[in-house]
Amino acid sequence: MGFIDFTDQVVLVTGASSGIGAAAAVGFAEAGATVALHYHQNAEGAQHTLNAVSTAGGSGSVHQADLASPSSAALIDEVLARHGRIDVLVNNAGDLVKRSPVTDVPDDEFHRIMDVNLTSVFALSRRIVPVFRAQGGGVIVNVTSIAGRHGGGGGSVVYATSKGAVSTFTRGLAKELAPEGIRVNAISPGVISTPFHDRHTGADQLAAMRSTIPMGRTGTPHECVGTILYLASDRMSSYVTGQIIEVNGGQLMP
């Protein structure tokens, strides 16, 4: 049994079919958790993550939902019906959707970006709080972004705005729930090598981003996992709430 131990705990990770979410799910499994894996469209990726969870010695389940939908909070009920409890919620799912100058962003695209990145965090958090209250505690770990502090790379103003709002929501909800023993924190990744950048960032733009990182390289999803597990662990971070922890190779030092 390691120092970070999630034996007998159920962890819900959204956006677990690839990238940071998939890596975090495996990390929780290695620490003994039962992991509920959410995905939107990438069923094959979610199954791959589930296989990795099993290989790591953990158990899990796969759940599909469009978190931009008004009915997204039903995901919580589905996981509760399957596992009986949820101890940790990792709000990782998110997307840039498309890089565009603000003047070229249509209303529907703006709302999609905000719904995927911000409304989903609000809706799932609102639904999970009564669950945590009934259980006597719980932990929310949100995944925001360095973009929320510096305004984002080219063509990502709306994405950066949504992530800045996630950071503010994290701090505000942490204050609201602290008296009840429910902790809320966030990890703020910098430039991490994930399918996100494969979809949205060209080679030249990625090279320009890399040149601003003191470590001289992009990060990996695995390099985000330790911080997520730390924030989720009452044993490691029981007096930590309302914090946004930067994981960015020194790119931003607030």
CA distances for 197 relative to 20, 147, 190, angstroms: 12, 13, 11
Residue 140 vs residues 86, 120, 125, 233: alpha-carbon distances, Å:
10, 13, 8, 11
| In contact, 184 and 177? CB cutoff 8 Å | yes
User: Nearest Cα to 41, choosing from 73, 59, 12, 16?
Assistant: 16
CA-based angle 5:9:10, to the nearest 5?
Answer: 130
Alpha-carbon distance 245 to 243, whole Å? 6
163 to 113, 143, 192, 217: CA distances (angstroms): 10, 8, 15, 23
CA 233 to chain CA centroid, Å, is: 16
Which residues lie closer than 8 Å to 94 by C-beta, 6 or more apart? Answer: 15, 116, 117, 120, 143, 145, 162, 163
Q: Kind of pairing, strands 59-64 and 88-91?
A: unpaired
Instruction: Answer yes or no: 159 catalytic.
Output: yes
Which residue reads 């925001």 in tokens? 144
Question: Which one of 39, 159, 230, 239 is the catalytic residue?
Answer: 159
Residues forming the active site: 159
